[in-house]
Chain A
Amino acid sequence: MADRNFIPIGPFHPLLEEPEFFKFYVDGETVVDAEVRVGYNHRGVEKLAEGKTYDQATFLVERICGICSTSHPFAYVQAAEDVSGIVVPERALFIRSIIGDLERIHSHLLWVGLAAHFIGYNTVFMWAWKYREPVLDVFEMISGNRNHYGMFKVGGVRRDINDAQIPSLLKAIDEIEGFCSMLVKAVMDDPVIKARTKGIGILKKQDAIDIGVVGPVARASGIINDVRKDFPYAAYDRVQFERVVLPDGDVFSRMAVRLLETIESTKIIRQCLKQMPKGPIDAEVREIGIGEGIGQHEAPRGEVIHYVRSNGSNYPERHKIRAPSFMNVPSFKKTVIGQSIADAALITAAVDPCYCCTERMAVLDRETNKVLLNGDELVRLCQEKTEKMRNK
């Protein structure tokens, strides 16, 4: 292993927005093996959450990810509500769906821009990001913030969408849909983009199932998988939309899935705005009962799951988070081997990884570099702790 040549991508590299280390073992320009190292950014969010009240933890989990900042609170509040079966007012459910899918649009556009940047197509990069701006403006109009919206709370949402805002919202959505359709045409018909992405980094359907990838990566490999349809939550069972599923599993399909999903999202938002009933936006939850709860949300990158265990106090006793990138990143083992460096860089980016959500840790002895506690053992410790709490 030691005498093989490798190309380091990271820990700090223009390709990666976050510290992360890919080691591509190469023969010439062909990747023969790959390793990934995470853990540069571990923040111990799960442990932090145990020291926060349920309301505070909503803000904490919002800061897990900067791009899909609503995904985590979305799943988290559902987990907390699941503990004691809190019924959320109808209007709040619609507002949640609107926020969730607006975020999907901006996150996908951001990825398309980055992907274009990675293949050196800076014009598409800048255009995609320009068209993402109106989405952020819409967020600012609704929530006052462009990125961390602070819209969610256990039992409802924090801010209402006024009737006065709806016409300008609809207009903005039309505009965004126009941009997205234009971008779909421009990107998917471009012969050079096709040459760079078609047939590259193929993740076969069976491999995708074995690894357990989620979200757009799974849908681009022909797996029909979308939490919004499979386990409907918020207002997603009351609107019509299609799951975009493509069979090829290459980078082009992943790009196509994401681009086409932005258009589906505009449809969802428009329907939500039309069907939204009048009424309260908050169930005014006073306490969370005793028990366990699970919340799922189809984040832009795939299914995010939050688990909350409550002992009846103000603080979650245990809070477990599984972000989609944790499932998607390992797929690079199947996709980059045999490809060239130029493609490998693009392929690792094509799962739209969000590393700070994926961070895990291991305990090392610094002197000998020996692993004292690896992932499996940490999981075992967790299970033992849960067992202890159950028996208490």
Chain B
Amino acid sequence: MTDSLKLIFGYLIFPGLIFSAMVGMIACWIDRKVTARLQYRKGPPWYQPLADILKLLGKEMIVPEGVSNAVFLAAPLFGLSAAALVALILWQGNLDRSAGFIGDLIAALYLLTIPSLAMIIGGSSSRNPLSALGASREMKLILAYELPFTIAVFTIVVKAGSIMIGGVASHTAVLSVSGLIAFLVALLAAQAKMGFVPFDIAEAEQEIMAGPLLEYSGPGLALFKLTKDILFFVLPLFLITLFLGGIEVTTVAGIILAVLKYALILVLMVLIKNTNPRLKIDQAVRFFWGPVTLLAIAGFIFAVIGW
């Protein structure tokens, strides 16, 4: 009984839904503030991401005519539940290195794809040509970045000799040649997973007006935004777990180190985001399947020969 209560608590409050959403919102605010300062703007107050979501939750939700309600409304929930679940798995794997189950890394890898799939389902179900175009772009983008991303993850599996989150977290992979290469590859893929410039092709508001999200309003849009905020916590955490030796929150030094690691990834992401224009979908696919995949394979080979 207490175990299942603990699980529900873990999923909904800490470190699942609420906690990861809060950290994600803070990260989102930092991103927006830093971006604004880079662009000589003032930027929003610290509670802006939360205010956005609360406001959206209170708005009317319009379902386009002739759209299947079930699919259209389930899509955002689908993405959100997966994102919260992966937060729980990653967090527990980090804190209790022996907890986990065999292959929880693979489960996390799968779950991380679901928010993008939710976007595709939502976009395709909304009967809008621009949304459909956005959904097809998202699909191509997933095909593009998942290949190098998976190779990079398995580079670390080979390196650490474990396929459990607890196992790879105890290993600071980035200090080796193959680990560094895999880190760079995964960072680029994470940028695409987040839908950040230069890979915000699926949303491209100046071309297809936010693509899959175009027909969403009110709570539906809020859930998508919340999913994105959670991903902003989960993806850096995933990168830290794989490449930077995980996090440790039992000591003050451990907490400071964890925050520093998180900040490092955040800075890199915001930097890439603000110094690039958007690529086209064909350029992005060529980029991921060409140089990035080659790099990832090189990293994998290095890992096998023990560099």
Instruction: Chain A residues near B130: list those with CB within 8 A.
Output: 7-8
List CB contacts (< 8 Å) of B204-218 with chain A: 204-209
Query: How many B residues face the partner with a CB closer than 8 A?
Result: 29
A-B contact pairs, 26 of them (CB 8 A): A5-B129, A8-B130, A14-B205, A14-B206, A15-B206, A29-B133, A119-B206, A119-B278, A120-B277, A121-B277, A122-B39, A123-B35, A123-B39, A123-B275, A125-B39, A126-B39, A126-B40, A127-B40, A130-B40, A190-B277, A193-B277, A195-B283, A340-B280, A340-B281, A342-B207, A342-B278
The residue that B208 contacts in the complex, of A118, A123, A127, A341, with Cβ under 8 A, is A341
Q: Is A343 in the interface zone, CB < 8 Å from B?
A: yes
Instruction: Chain A residues near B274: list those with CB within 8 A.
Output: 122-123
**A121 x B278 contact (CB < 8 A):** yes
Given A7-B129, A126-B39, A192-B198, A120 and B204 touching (CB < 8 A)?
yes
**A117 x B206 contact (CB < 8 A):** yes
Instruction: Chain B residues near A117: list those with CB within 8 A.
Output: 206
Instruction: Chain A residues near B207: list those with CB within 8 A.
Output: 15, 118, 341-342, 345
List CB contacts (< 8 Å) of A117-151 with chain B: 117-127, 130
Instruction: Chain B residues near A342: list those with CB within 8 A.
Output: 201, 204, 207, 278, 280-281
Instruction: Chain A residues near B40: list those with CB within 8 A.
Output: 126-127, 130
Q: Is B197 in the interface zone, CB < 8 Å from A?
A: yes
Given A7-B130, A123-B39, A343 and B280 touching (CB < 8 A)?
yes
The answer for the CA separation of A342 and B282 in the assembled complex, in Å, is: 10
Instruction: Chain A residues near B275: list those with CB within 8 A.
Output: 123
Chain B proximity of A145: nearest CB distance (Å): 23
Other A-B pairs beyond A195-B283, A196-B278, 16, CB < 8 Å: A7-B129, A14-B205, A15-B206, A119-B206, A119-B277, A120-B206, A120-B278, A123-B274, A190-B277, A192-B198, A192-B277, A196-B280, A340-B281, A341-B208, A342-B207, A342-B280
List CB contacts (< 8 Å) of B246-304 with chain A: 274-283
Instruction: Chain A residues near B206: list those with CB within 8 A.
Output: 14-15, 117-120, 345
The answer for the CA separation of A120 and B282 in the assembled complex, in Å, is: 16
Q: Is A158 in the interface zone, CB < 8 Å from B?
A: no
**A120 x B39 contact (CB < 8 A):** no
Q: Is A116 in the interface zone, CB < 8 Å from B?
A: yes
**A196 x B133 contact (CB < 8 A):** no
Q: Is B200 in the interface zone, CB < 8 Å from A?
A: yes
Q: Is A229 in the interface zone, CB < 8 Å from B?
A: no
By secondary structure, the A interface counts as: helix
Chain B proximity of A88: nearest CB distance (Å): 40
The answer for the CA separation of A125 and B275 in the assembled complex, in Å, is: 11
Number of A-B contacts (CB under 8 A): 80
**A126 x B129 contact (CB < 8 A):** no
Q: Is A171 in the interface zone, CB < 8 Å from B?
A: no
Which of A6, A13, A14, A119 gathers the greatest number of chain B CB atoms within 10 Å?
Answer: A119
**B277 x A14 contact (CB < 8 A):** no
Chain A proximity of B38: nearest CB distance (Å): 6
**A192 x B205 contact (CB < 8 A):** no
Instruction: Chain A residues near B201: list those with CB within 8 A.
Output: 342
Chain A proximity of B198: nearest CB distance (Å): 6
The answer for the CA separation of A282 and B274 in the assembled complex, in Å, is: 50
List CB contacts (< 8 Å) of B15-69 with chain A: 35, 38-41
For the complex of A and B, 10 pairs with smallest distance between CB atoms = A120-B278, A126-B39, A121-B277, A119-B277, A342-B280, A345-B207, A118-B206, A123-B274, A130-B40, A15-B206
List CB contacts (< 8 Å) of A331-368 with chain B: 340-343, 345
Chain B proximity of A193: nearest CB distance (Å): 6
CB-CB nearest in chain A for B200? A120
List CB contacts (< 8 Å) of B162-200 with chain A: 197-198, 200
The answer for the CA separation of A195 and B276 in the assembled complex, in Å, is: 11
**A29 x B281 contact (CB < 8 A):** yes
Q: Encode A25-50 as 1/0 by CB contact (under 8 A) with B.
A: 00001000000000000000000000
Chain B proximity of A29: nearest CB distance (Å): 7
CB-CB nearest in chain B for A7? B129
Instruction: Chain A residues near B208: list those with CB within 8 A.
Output: 7, 341
Chain B proximity of A164: nearest CB distance (Å): 30
The answer for the CA separation of A127 and B130 in the assembled complex, in Å, is: 30
